[in-house]
Structure 1
Amino acid sequence: MGKYRELVFNITLITIGSILFVWALYRCGIGIDWRVFLILLAFAIILDNIGIMYTDIKLSLSPTIGITTFLIFGTVGAATLMVSSVMFDTIVVRKKIKNGLLNGGMFSIAYLVAGWFYEFIGGKIGIVSFSQVKYILSYVIISFLLNNFILYYALKVQGKILFKEYWNESVLLELGTYIVMIPVSLLLAYIYFKHSLLFFVLSLTPLIFIAYAFRMIRDLIKANKRLNAIYEMVKMINSKLELEQILDTIIEVISQVVSVSAAAIYLTDSNGVAALVKSIGNREGEEGFKENYFKDEGIIGKCISSNKTIAIKDLKQDKRFLKEQFLNNYGSVVVAPLRFSGSVIGCLMVLHVETNVFDEDSVKIIEIIVDQASVAITNAKRYYEVTKKSITDPLTKTYNRRYFNDALMENIMRADETSEPVSLIMFDLDNFKLINDTYGHLVGDEVLKEVAKRIKNNVRSDDIVARFGGEEFAVILPKLTAEQAYMIAERIRNEVSSRPIRTDKGDIYVTITGGVADYPEKADSAEKLISHADRALYAGGKSKGRNKIAIYEV
């Protein structure tokens, strides 16, 4: 559906733009001095080529030439120049035929409609005076709004996501350049009407230096961002962030220092298989990033096995990875290995829809960042493993008593804030001592592990299962009343008792007894909640024959 919508939009834009342009030529003609027009076109093309790229958005000072041409030759002349300039830059220089046709349609609509509105409200062509400024401003505002509206919608239907992060910055910068472009355009038009052609051409030349100045300022800002990015990565190494936060930060930092249309992070497991752990920006409705890569498989597997960065400036020309369908949506890619102590632990893939986006400096900064990121990822994984060991029961892989106490207090405080209940189930295996005495402690351990597994498989993802001690387990159930928790406890009881546990000593049938209480209905503190659930377990369950679930009664 997304592809169809994009196709319809593209055809509509190109068709409307072409019809308007041909109709304008037929009705009005151009009526220009071709010598002057070609000089202006040459300057417009030069300014386009030293513009600033914001991912899929390109900014330049070429509208200065467009406004000047409009003041000299009128609506059709200006539209012809701007359409010719943008199509030359896109099709001839950047080799993007489809984008060139789309840009041509967009510029045709924006500059023709703005020019006709200018004429409709009383603006005059060939006159440069203060009385015309308000009309010229209307021309600039309408062409600006139409251009940006069409461009925004075009990028949206193409499913491009990351451009939105650059949108505000690029629009603000473009508005800032109009503060320079409008008075310069008025001055250039005045010089054309009042002075010689040679003086007019010489007056156009400073625009090139101004454009370079803007580009240098942007490059300085970019360099500063890159230094800040490296600082952020170094700072992140010493943090105790979770792995998910580390991955988010890596993607955020990368998108600040290079132009990005999509990105993905893969991490390898003990078998060398690379798994997708984080991705952004992939086009909706099309084949997404591959979830797993084996050694030497595709561009990710090749990067990991070679332990070298793969940088492709033009994916349409490079034939090595043609089988990976998602790469057909992009023009450039950099895949850099994540290394720690000489071993590859994963890789970062950065993509852009345009070709020739990632120069040597971009590749170098990506490699610097992934080197720092590798340390941060390794530290985060180690911290997670150490933390998990400190709160996990080593036998059953459920939470331990210390974590249970903290989690229960936290859930009680949250229940006070939200006025929602929290329930507790206390479980105890029936006749577990007999199992140990009959089959031995190793078999008893196998029984405990299987019972813990069955309990975890029958609760919600945000419920907390802990080994309370010995053969006793506890389950914290946020946002549930005792009656709702009772239903889950019954399901667990049935799951434990309905089928045997397979051990080396044969199949063993076990049963489990449980007690349920909730806060604040049946207990007013964490201590009483544990006490009341435990009392229900023994008074309401064990004393009445075991293999039962009981709710504490006040």
Structure 2
Amino acid sequence: MLKRICLLTSLIAFLMWAQIAAFKDPSKLFFFLPPFFLIMLVLWMRKQMALLIFVANLLLLAMAISLIKTMNLFYLVIPVAISGLLCTYYLHQKIWEKTILRSGEKKQNTINEMQAIKDRYDARIESLNYLERQVSGLIKVFEMARDFNDCLSFSELLQAIDRKMTPEVAFSAGTIILSENTEGVSEQVRHVFSFGNHKRLNDEENLEFAKLCLEVLTGSSQVIKFEKKSDHGTLDKSSLEIEMPLWIFPLLVKQKPIALVVIEGGNMSDFPKFEIMASQLALQIQKIQLYETVKEISILDGLTKIFVRRHFMERFEEELGRALRYKFPLSVLMVDVDHFKSYNDKFGHLVGDKALRQVAQVIRENIRRVDVLGRFGGEEFIIVAPEIDKSKSMELAERIRSSVARKHLRIYDEEIKMTVSIGTSAFPDDLEKSGDENNQQAIMDELIQKADQALYRAKEEGRNRVVAYA
């Protein structure tokens, strides 16, 4: 800063001295022209425009004074030349500034365009990455859904969902709802299965939630999505705790609903995955239902809906094995409908068949869930009662006999009464001491044979009675 002040002071002193000298003797002005032009050149190069104009004005003033004193036109040439140079410089400066400005604008536009292209490129890369993640997620869902194909029961299916889907897809709880009539308005819930980390464990709450979902879906076969409970009046009135959003997927096979899958608290980005899961579950649930139907047909008697003899013997073997292992008692009851042939002859086979079905129902109502009931042949039934000894088997047999005797069977236009005779045998009380306890088949045959002998005695003694093997 000090250097600039000293330089400026020296320059002004020089110019003032030059002005004074030119004022006294105009011819001396020519000696100062080279320094003047040198100073102006330096100022031009250093872009000191204010000082340049100041020096030029002093020079013009000196030329004007010399012109007036000498009346020599030569002094006019120098001001014109200086003015021309200044005008040329000014025009050149303006043109150059405009050129630089246009170049700067063009450069900025180019930079903006490049940034826009880069932004579009980044957006497309991000979009491609998102699509890649989505496709990868969907492929994972398809791979997980393939594991469903190995499931032949709903318990296995739920285990597969919890094992494969729950860790991969974010949601609170899921529910599979099977109904008695998935085409009707007044549908009855048949089964409810829950899965997920926050699934409902209370059976009553599951049943209430299933009925609520069926009511919400009434008359629709499309996927329904609710963001909040107030989106539907039925949901809003419910006291159940429901995680939102709520998605209801009707499972369709050949355009007919077979079940519902309900997802609570899912992430919207995972919605396509649940759509795939629902479509796979539709086929799998149909397969499980068909498998259970075939299985039921193969193990249940078509008339009485109780176990056929083959499956009964399999279950008998299982229960006997358990009794042998843990030293539990076990009883066998042979039940025969009294005078069944005469009922067939009197009322016809249709009435006889229905009567037999109702007798089987009465027997089923009077035994425990752990007891095994089967049709042994014709009008004969057989029961295996685990953990029941001889005395308790007599009580069970008497309860069955009295229930059948009290029952009025209303069949078509006929009302009839039937009675049964029952023979019992017990393990291990009625086994031969010399028998081989490791031969289960022999023990089964022996217990059935002795129960049959007791039944024969009951018939000989007048029927409608209970007799234990002795």
Length-normalised TM-score, structure 1: 0.53
Change (3 A) 1:440 1:344: closer
Amino acid at match of 2:446: K
Query: What percent of counterpart residues are identical?
Result: 29
CA distance in 2 between partners of 1:499 and 1:268 (Å): 32
Unaligned regions of 5+ residues in structure 2, if any?
A: 1-128, 432-436, 438-442
Change (3 A) 1:472 1:520: same
* Structure 2 counterpart of 1:256: 167
Change (3 A) 1:522 1:444: same
* Structure 2 counterpart of 1:526: 444
CA distance in 1 between partners of 2:384 and 2:201 (Å): 39
CA distance in 2 between partners of 1:327 and 1:429 (Å): 51
CA distance in 1 between partners of 2:402 and 2:381 (Å): 16
| The one of 365, 389, 397 aligned to 2:297 | 389
| The one of 402, 415, 433 aligned to 1:494 | 402
**CA shift for structure 1 position 289:** 4.2
Q: Which moved more, 1:496-505 or 1:343-352?
A: 496-505
* Structure 2 counterpart of 1:233: 145
1:202-223, CA deviations, whole angstroms, 9 ceiling, x for partnerless residues? xxxxxxxxxxxxxx9xx98x99
Q: Would you say the 8 A contact 1:240–1:383 is kept in 2? A: no
CA distance in 1 between partners of 2:194 and 2:291 (Å): 23
CA distance in 1 between partners of 2:318 and 2:327 (Å): 14
CA distance in 1 between partners of 2:203 and 2:451 (Å): 52
1:275-294 alignment to 2 at 5 Å?
275=189, 277-279=192-194, 281=198, 288-291=205-208
**CA shift for structure 1 position 250:** 3.5
* Structure 1 counterpart of 2:252: 339
SS in 1 for 2:328: coil
* Structure 1 counterpart of 2:308: 400
1:142-195, CA deviations, whole angstroms, 9 ceiling, x for partnerless residues? xxxxxxxxxxxxxxxxxxxxxxxxxxxxxxxxxxxxxxxxxxxxxxxxxxxxxx
**Does residue 1:537 correspond to 2:460, yes or no?**
no
Amino acid at match of 2:194: S
**CA shift for structure 1 position 393:** 1.2
Larger radius of gyration: 2
**CA shift for structure 1 position 317:** 6.2
Amino acid at match of 1:439: F
* Structure 2 counterpart of 1:308: 222
CA distance in 2 between partners of 1:268 and 1:503 (Å): 30
**CA shift for structure 1 position 537:** 0.9
* Structure 2 counterpart of 1:359: 268
Amino acid at match of 1:500: H
* Structure 2 counterpart of 1:268: 179
**Does residue 1:547 correspond to 2:464, yes or no?**
yes
**CA shift for structure 1 position 319:** 5.0
CA distance in 1 between partners of 2:229 and 2:378 (Å): 63
Amino acid at match of 1:390: S
**CA shift for structure 1 position 226:** 6.7
Q: Would you say the 8 A contact 2:242–2:264 is kept in 1? A: no
| The one of 242, 249, 253 aligned to 2:153 | 242
Change (3 A) 1:392 1:349: same
1:285-330, CA deviations, whole angstroms, 9 ceiling, x for partnerless residues? 9993454767xxx554444643222233x41663555434256543
SS in 1 for 2:261: strand
Change (3 A) 1:508 1:320: closer
Amino acid at match of 1:552: Y
**CA shift for structure 1 position 487:** 1.0
| The one of 434, 440, 445 aligned to 2:348 | 440
CA distance in 2 between partners of 1:537 and 1:287 (Å): 44
Change (3 A) 1:383 1:304: farther
* Root mean square deviation of aligned Cα: 3.0
| The one of 361, 370, 391 aligned to 1:453 | 361
Change (3 A) 1:468 1:389: same
**CA shift for structure 1 position 546:** 1.2
1:398-422, CA deviations, whole angstroms, 9 ceiling, x for partnerless residues? 1111111211112212222222122
SS in 2 for 1:323: helix
CA distance in 2 between partners of 1:285 and 1:345 (Å): 24
CA distance in 2 between partners of 1:505 and 1:343 (Å): 38
**CA shift for structure 1 position 549:** 0.9
Q: Would you say the 8 A contact 2:409–2:415 is kept in 1? A: yes
Number of residue pairs matched? 324
**CA shift for structure 1 position 267:** 1.9
SS in 2 for 1:434: helix
CA distance in 2 between partners of 1:252 and 1:504 (Å): 52
CA distance in 1 between partners of 2:447 and 2:342 (Å): 29
CA distance in 1 between partners of 2:280 and 2:316 (Å): 38
Amino acid at match of 1:332: P
**CA shift for structure 1 position 364:** 0.7
Amino acid at match of 1:449: R
Q: Would you say the 8 A contact 2:147–2:160 is kept in 1? A: no
Length-normalised TM-score, structure 2: 0.62
Q: Would you say the 8 A contact 2:200–2:206 is kept in 1? A: no
Change (3 A) 1:287 1:443: closer
